[in-house]
Amino acid sequence: MSHHYSGPNVGFPRGDARLDFTDLYAFPSPADASRSVLIMNVHPAFSLLPPGPTTPEPFAADAIYEFKIDTNGDAVADIAYRVCFSVFANGKQTAVLRRVEGAQAAETGNEGRLVEEWPVSMDREAIVVEAEDHRFFAGWRSDPFFFDPIGAINDFHFSGKDNFIDKDVCSIVLELPRSALGAKPFGVWARTVDRANGTWIQADRGAKPSQAIFLPGDARDDYLASEPAGDSRFIPIFAHSLEHTGGYASVDALRVAATLLPDILHFDPALPASYPDNGRALTDDVLDHFLSLLTNGKVKSDGVGPHRDLLAEFPYLGPPHMAAAERFNAHEALHGGSDARKD
């Protein structure tokens, strides 16, 4: 959703930075057009309000990080890739990657395994594994998202300063054959599911940029806990926000709101990625598009552009700006050695 702070008051969902879904990308592999790349970014390394580093623990051990894929256009998942993580201990964490199909894909569970106990990349080296023609990475990376959120908060008075140019994020990257997803156009969204209180609760979800932070308002929690198949009920809420922010007439606001829902990113793997028409590339200026839509053309750009540290090879995202030791030390300096995982 490209917002980085989907909880209330520019915070994190359930108060946990590790559960915060930030961005979803879908594009053809630059090295092999017969393969597709899916990237889910979560857990921003720095919070905005209050400003400061979040926990050095990359992923929550009591959570599921999931790609949901709809192959027949009914906004219900037919394939799911699920990633779960071990407890963070001694500066290390491992990941398990699962794939399920059919009815199981629309549910929450622990069936199917592709990769077991693979190390999470804690430092600048990308630790990559291949299994059953899938390539997989999980760990800290340079955040490819570019935007001026301070300007957005300040009534869209942008300074052109990219708040994310030197920030890191936790990434889950999959490269897979187009045939693994049916080799036809499909819809994809991402979600985080939390079990900290003993039952699975969807903490965050999305696909298209920025919708949860700017549009649903008082219905945000309900929206984040919902499934795309039920998104039509949020059209009036989105339309109200568009009327308020962009000055849309009621009929136009409803029309535009209907184009934003369900919150699914559509991708034809046979074509180049270009948001909003097909998937999303790492360099697509999604926020300029969204700002123009949100404000009814009154604001067309925040004045910032793509980052230059992207890689030509898997996992495509640049190395993190902070080394593992620097990240730990920054957190300790802020929290005085306290256990503050849910920053």
Q: Where are the alpha helices (DSSP H) in 132-269?
A: 149-153, 211-214, 220-224, 235-246, 250-260
Q: Which residue shows structure tokens 């219905």?
A: 219
pLDDT at residue 207 tops 60 = yes
What pLDDT shows up at residue 44? 94
Run of H or E including 210: none
At residue 22, does pLDDT exceed 50?
yes
Closest C-alpha to 176, from 65, 73, 43, 69: 69
pLDDT band at 5 (very low <50, low <70, confident <90, very high): low
Picking from 123, 162, 170, the residue whose alpha carbon sits closest to that of residue 145 is: 162
Q: How much is the pLDDT for 340? A: 46
If you ran DSSP here, which 8-state letter would residue 316 be given?
-
Average pLDDT over residues 326-339: 75
Share of the chain above pLDDT 90, in %: 76
3-state secondary structure 158-196: CCCCCCCCCCEEEEEEEEEEHHHHCCCCEEEEEEEEECC
Q: Band of the pLDDT at 3, cuts 50, 70, 90?
A: low
User: Please, which pLDDT band fits residue 14 given cuts at 50, 70 and 90?
Assistant: confident
Q: Read off φ and ψ for residue 85, nearest 5 degrees.
A: -130, 150
Mean pLDDT, the chain, integer: 91
Count of helices and strands (H, E) across the chain:
7, 14
Write the pLDDT tens digit of every residue in 149-177.
Answer: 889 888 899 999 999 999 999 999 999 99
